[in-house]
Structure 1
């Protein structure tokens, strides 16, 4: 069965990413074409990158890196939930991506973002990063507004239309994850 990780891309106290990721999971869990799980960056306690060699060599020395690599390596695709911080992605998410390399390769990724402009600028940066990590990013994206999809910027109340976009994003991530399976197997 195809395994998709829903990455909670923020570690900030009071973050919105966790509740958005739970919403993604609730919608995804109704599907029968893949298994979904939430992967929370907070659970991996990754300090600012502390590996002596570049991730591309795969010589991970730190226990937290090895645990992170094992989790990401066990998955076939991803939905990344990210806020937009200062017109880009959260530093904690970029740090987590940079820790490892081969574990990302030949997998699909979709994005659910939020922010004052729907988080679209964070995702534009993530798309470039995804290409470097040999992740196939899907076209569909859920872009949530802090003004209309969150009450008082904190209580998540997504507009109904976002569910349909999320379903399309999930469809694409599952399809591309399956299509890339032969590359992961070789």
Structure 2
């Protein structure tokens, strides 16, 4: 945990599969992001939060959650001023474990920005489109710029023939995403702090 006073961004790994490739784009993005001096970043792995499928009486917008693991998750994501989701695409959609994690919190997400780094045959473009719809319902602000690791790059990663270092052309996209995320993080944090 950092103590710079900068806004804090959680980088959420959305896949928990033993054979996931998520660690590669996550580390690549984190290495770029942590060079910034205006935001602090921390990786949040859903493997560390084994929640049940949503089974509370209601969203925590309406009733306090009871499951200790869910409450721990809510406390974890509440620490951040914004999020980057590293997302796979399963059958044209985000992972089930990510959707469940999003559903198991609500008030913690409200009026905070979220950005996406996707990987898959089409760079998780379809999963990200669905995540934007979910984010709107959670009162998050989706950053327009995304990074898409797709096609031969994705299959190269999956087959172990490429690493993220073989894709320097994605770095500009990551920087653009971070610039947008920084602007929205500052704007929304200022507005939230003013209302408090």
Check whether TM > 0.5.
yes
Question: Which shifted more, 137-146 or 86-95?
Answer: 137-146
Mind listing any 5+ residue stretches in structure 1 that lack a counterpart? none
Please state how far the C-alpha of 1:135 moved relative to its aligned partner.
0.7
The secondary structure found in structure 2 opposite 1:75 is coil
1:115 aligns with 2:120: yes
Counterpart residue number, 2:38: 33
In the alignment, which of 53, 67, 73 is matched to residue 68 of structure 1?
Answer: 73
Counterpart residue number, 1:157: 163
In the alignment, which of 52, 55, 62 is matched to residue 60 of structure 2?
Answer: 55
Please state how far the C-alpha of 1:167 moved relative to its aligned partner.
0.9
CA–CA distance in structure 2, aligned partners of residues 175 and 116 of structure 1: 30
CA–CA distance in structure 2, aligned partners of residues 160 and 110 of structure 1: 20
CA–CA distance in structure 1, aligned partners of residues 137 and 175 of structure 2: 26
Q: After TM superposition, list the pairs within 5 Å mapping 1:1-186 onto structure 2.
A: 1-151=6-156, 153-155=158-160, 157-158=163-164, 159-185=167-193, 186=195
CA–CA distance in structure 2, aligned partners of residues 184 and 150 of structure 1: 41
Cα displacement string for residues 93-125 of structure 1 (whole angstroms, at most 9, x for unaligned residues): 000000010100011111000101111000000
CA–CA distance in structure 1, aligned partners of residues 175 and 168 of structure 2: 12
1:118–1:143 Cα contact (<8 Å) kept: yes
Considering fraction of residues, name the structure with more strand: 1
Give me the CA root mean square deviation.
1.4
2:24–2:163 Cα contact (<8 Å) kept: no
CA distance change for structure 1 residues 109 and 152 in 2, over 3 Å: closer, same or farther? closer
1:114–1:146 Cα contact (<8 Å) kept: no
Please state how far the C-alpha of 1:56 moved relative to its aligned partner.
2.0
